[in-house]
C-alpha cells in the first residue's frame, strides 16, 4: 500500500510542491482583491440592497444640492450642453437679424436709451429656421429667458401663431 509521501505530485506542480501552493495562493489573493473591490463598488451603487451608500446625501438648501459632483462626467456633459445652447441662441439671433426688419421704437431700453429692435413674424422665422434646426421654439424660449427676444404668449405653435411678432432686442 502506498502512503502519501510515496505519491508523486501532479504534473503541473513542482517536485517540492511550492508551485501548486503559489498558484493557489495567487488565485486566493486575486479573488480576495476582486471581492473587496466589488464590496466597495456596491457601497457606491444606489440600487444595491446589500449595503447603504457611504456618500453624503445633500439636503435642499445646502451648497451643491442639485448639482453634479465637480470633475464628474455629468458635470462635463452639463457644461457641453450649456455651450451648445449658447451657440444655438446666438445663431437664432443672427438669423433674426438677417431676415427681420429693423424698427426703431419710442420706448426706453433697460439703460434708459432708445431701443433699436429687429422684428420678424414667427411663421417667416419658422420657415427659414426649419432647415437649420428642429428646436426653434425651445431656443426662442431660452433666448427670451436671457432677455434677447420678446414675443407674446408662453408657447408658439406653427400655423396658429404664424403672425406673432418676435422682437430681437439689440
pLDDT tier at 13, thresholds 50, 70, 90: low
Contact 10, 23 (CB under 8 A): no
What length is written for the chain?
Answer: 170
Q: Residue range 41-62: average pLDDT? A: 74
- Same domain as 126, residue 92: yes
**pLDDT single digits (tens) 91-114:** 999 999 999 998 876 555 454 455
By C-alpha distance, which of 123, 157, 151, 121 is closest to 137? 157
Q: Are 108 and 41 found together in one domain? A: no
Task: Indicate if 42 and 86 belong to the same structural domain.
Answer: no
List of residues 6+ apart from 39 with CB closer than 8 A:
51
The string of DSSP codes covering 96-146 is: HHHHSEEEEEEEE-TTSSEEEEEEEEHHHHHHHHTTT-S-HHHHHHHHHHT
Determine the structural domain holding residue 37 and report its residue range: 15-55
Residue 78 lies in a domain: yes
Inside any domain, residue 99: yes
Q: Which of 108, 119, 124 is nearest to 151 (CA)?
A: 119
Asked if residue 61 belongs to a domain, the reply is: no
Query: Taking the complete model, does pTM exceed 0.85, yes or no?
Result: no
Amino acid at each position: 500500500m502506498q502512503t502519501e509521501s510515496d505519491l508523486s505530485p501532479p504534473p503541473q506542480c513542482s517536485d517540492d510542491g511550492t508551485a501548486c501552493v503559489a498558484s493557489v495562493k495567487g488565485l486566493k489573493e486575486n479573488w480576495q482583491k476582486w471581492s473587496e473591490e466589488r464590496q466597495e463598488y456596491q457601497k457606491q451603487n444606489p440600487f444595491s440592497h446589500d449595503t447603504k451608500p457611504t456618500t453624503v446625501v445633500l439636503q435642499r438648501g445646502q451648497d451643491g444640492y442639485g448639482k453634479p459632483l465637480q470633475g464628474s462626467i455629468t458635470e462635463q456633459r452639463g457644461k457641453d450642453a450649456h455651450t451648445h445652447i449658447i451657440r444655438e441662441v446666438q445663431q437664432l439671433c443672427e438669423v433674426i437679424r438677417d431676415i427681420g426688419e429693423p424698427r426703431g421704437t419710442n420706448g426706453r431700453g433697460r439703460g434708459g436709451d432708445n431701443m433699436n429692435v429687429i422684428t420678424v413674424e414667427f411663421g417667416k422665422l419658422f420657415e427659414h429656421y426649419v432647415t437649420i434646426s428642429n428646436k426653434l421654439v425651445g431656443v426662442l424660449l431660452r433666448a427670451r429667458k436671457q432677455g434677447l427676444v420678446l414675443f407674446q404668449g408662453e408657447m408658439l405653435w406653427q400655423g396658429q401663431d404664424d403672425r406673432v411678432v418676435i422682437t430681437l432686442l439689440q
